[in-house]
Amino acid sequence: MTAPTVAGPGTLTGLRTALAVESAKVRASLVLRSTSVLLVAGVCLLSAAMVAAVRAGRTDVTRKLGPAVATGDWDAFLAVATQVTGAAAVLATGVALAWLVGREFSDGTVGGLFGLPVTRSTIAAAKVLVYLGWAAGLGVVLPCALLAAGLACGLGAPGAAVFAGLARVGLLVVLSACVAVPAALAATLGRGLLPGVATTVGVVVVAQVGATLGAGTWFPLTAPALWAIAPGTVPPGALATAPLLALAVAALTVLAWRRLQLDR
Amino acid sequence: MAVPVLALRGVTRVFDGGAGVHAVDLEVRPGEVVALVGLNGAGKTTLLRLVLGMLRPHTGSVELDGVPLDRLPAVAWAGVGAQIEYPLAYPELDGATNLALAARLHGVPRADVGATVAAVLDELDLGRYARVLARRMSLGNRQRLGLAVALQHHPRLVVLDEPTNALDPRGILLVRAAVRRRADAGAAVLVSSHHLDEVARVADRILVIGDGRMIGTLDPHGAELERAFFALVHDDALSRAS
């Protein structure tokens, strides 16, 4: 039996290795697969059901959803899809990220991530990057699924405005994933899945309350949804607050993993 | 005398309530298996966690090849293999995939991963579990998978916490042989256990830890190992009480 050549990875090789490992875990994960299916199917079904109800003459539904959906066309369909995505995407991506980070603590595998040539901070960075990659994938799949659902509802051939609306829904998913990054820090500091999930729920609640109280377009938790619903009202700088928030919290998460001790 | 691969110098780490380890000195040299024995709660796992950097000492230092852990370059960890408490085995991945990912995390070049995994599957007789998801494995087989993760890259320092706890007799023999093989090839091995008969079969030195302090040594080849162990524990308790 011969010993393998063991070479410690440099920082870049370490990140490549960590990305490969985290990607393999995500591909095999039932949690991320079911979250993806639930988000895509849920948004499509709700949007289709609401527009179908309006088109069937259900005035009660029209009254509740507002004048934006009264037309029962592509605009109405996209208005519902955007509103639902605004809340659902934060919840779905936050729960996924809480699992991605918190499972190492709840499964006890975090101990095996010590004493490796690939540092824990590199592994934490890889987790966030893989998560954002997964969210970007969802940002492509959801608009495609919505397009198919709209066509299946008989909304007719989509114009340029519809494609622009679908693209906004896709970007909203990615920006919602940015807003949910605090789940990673909470799962790390709380050493488990539940603190991450609780933080995600907190983000959704604060965003809803913030929107209701008119927190403004510069509030990072509400800016993405406000932009997706009414693009002209949110300047690009305000929209950038969501990725900036993600960057800052991801940096704190990486730092927390670097300084991590299993002392609880 | 060979330079120790692992050295703990005056290491103290105390938790709220006073438990922990106190002023521990310990060295493990290339080619030797050092066993750490003690009652439950004596501080064995805390000490191993300090070795792996899972805990930082309040005083003293842990050194690998003479370099304190806080100054150790990340690359140096490629020569370490460990299992403490839980195996690095993800339930949604099968045995071979878990091993392959762990090999990469331990610095095994991508081109060598397949051969590394095949060799350890064979060595620890895990071949039939290569395509079985870890969540479907028995506790013992999952532990054996975790030990394979720790040993497959032939580390220079092996650190194992209660490695034979959940294993069946055949698994114990396989792991014992694998550990001995690593030591014979020059690895330094630190293993904790409370199975005196088991450590006597594999260890070159046995250190006894009690209430977070090193309280003596046992001769692995000596008769009445159990009696000698309890005498040390009893004497330590008396000396602390007086």
Task: Kindly report, residue by residue over B45-103, the tens digit of the pLDDT.
Answer: 999 999 999 999 999 999 999 999 999 999 999 999 999 989 999 999 999 999 999 99
pLDDT bin (cut points 50, 70, 90) of residue B17 is: confident
Quick check: is B140 in a domain?
no
Instruction: Please report the pLDDT score of residue B6 as a whole number.
Output: 98
Would an 8 Å CB–CB cutoff place B72 in contact with chain A?
no
Is the separation of the CB atoms in A33 and A100 below 8 Å?
no
Give how far A142 is from chain B: nearest CA, Å: 26
CATH number, domain containing residue B194: 3.40.50.300
* B229 belongs to a structural domain: yes
Query: Is the CB of B74 less than 8 angstroms away from the CB of A28?
Result: no
**B171 within some domain:** yes
Q: What is the pLDDT of residue A13?
A: 75
Q: Which chain B residues contact residue A3 at CB under 8 A?
A: 153-154, 185
Question: How far is residue B14's CA from residue B59's CA, in Å, rounded to a whole number?
Answer: 10
* Partners of B28 in beta bridges: B6
Domain count for chain B: 1
Q: Do A5 and B112 touch (CB under 8 A)?
A: yes
Domain containing B237: what range? Answer: 6-86+157-198+207-241
Residue A1 is predicted with a pLDDT of 47
How many Cα atoms occupy the beta-carbon half-sphere of B226 within 13 Å?
3
Compute the distance between CA of residue B128 and CA of residue A123 in angstroms, rounded to an integer.
30
Q: Which residue of chain B comes nearest to A31, CA vs CA?
A: B92
Residue B60 lies in a domain: yes
Report the pLDDT value the prediction gives residue B137, as an integer from 0 to 100: 96
**Closest A-chain CA to B113:** A4
Q: CB count, 10 Å around CB of B194?
A: 16
Q: State residue A7's pLDDT score.
A: 54
| DSSP character at residue A109 | G
pLDDT at A12: 66
Dihedral (Cα; A66, A70, A71, A77), 10-degree rounding: 60
The answer as to whether B54 is a domain residue is yes
Side chain identity at B125, as an amino acid letter? D
- Cα torsion for A212, A214, A220, A224, to the nearest 10°? 70
pLDDT in tens, chain A (264 residues): 445 555 555 666 799 999 999 999 999 999 999 999 999 999 999 999 998 888 888 888 777 777 777 788 999 999 999 999 998 999 999 999 999 999 999 999 999 999 999 999 999 999 999 999 999 999 999 999 999 999 999 999 999 999 999 999 999 999 999 999 999 999 999 999 999 999 999 999 999 888 888 777 889 999 999 999 888 888 999 999 999 999 999 999 999 999 999 987
Is residue B180 one of the residues assigned to a domain? yes
Is position B103 within any domain? Answer: no
Q: Are A101 and A31 in contact (CB under 8 A)?
A: no
Is the Cβ of A148 closer than 8 Å to some Cβ of chain B? no
User: Over the Cα atoms of chain B, what is R_g?
Assistant: 18
Does B97 reach chain A within 8 Å, measured CB to CB?
yes
Backbone angles phi, psi at A86, to 5 degrees: -50, -40
Question: What is the tens place of the pLDDT at every residue in B172-218?
Answer: 999 999 999 999 999 999 999 888 888 888 999 999 999 999 999 99
Q: Which of A21, A119, A262 sits opposite B55 (nearest CB)?
A: A262
What are the phi and psi torsion angles at A247 (to 5°)? Answer: -60, -45
ipTM value > 0.85: yes
pLDDT of A100 reads 97
Chain A nearest-CA distance from B120, in A, is 9
Model pLDDT, residue A101: 98
B112 lies in some domain: no
Contact flag A117-B78 (C-beta cutoff 8 Å) = yes
Tokens 């969802």, residue located: A138
CB proximity B87 to A under 8 Å: yes
pLDDT-based confidence at B21, cuts 50/70/90? very high
Cβ-Cβ contacts under 8 Å for A43 (sequence gap 6 or more): A81, A84, A85, A88, A142, A145, A146
Distance CA B118, CA A244 (A): 45
A94 alpha carbon, distance to own chain's centre: 6
A224 contact partners, CB below 8 Å, separation of at least 6: A86, A171, A172, A175, A176, A178, A179, A239, A242
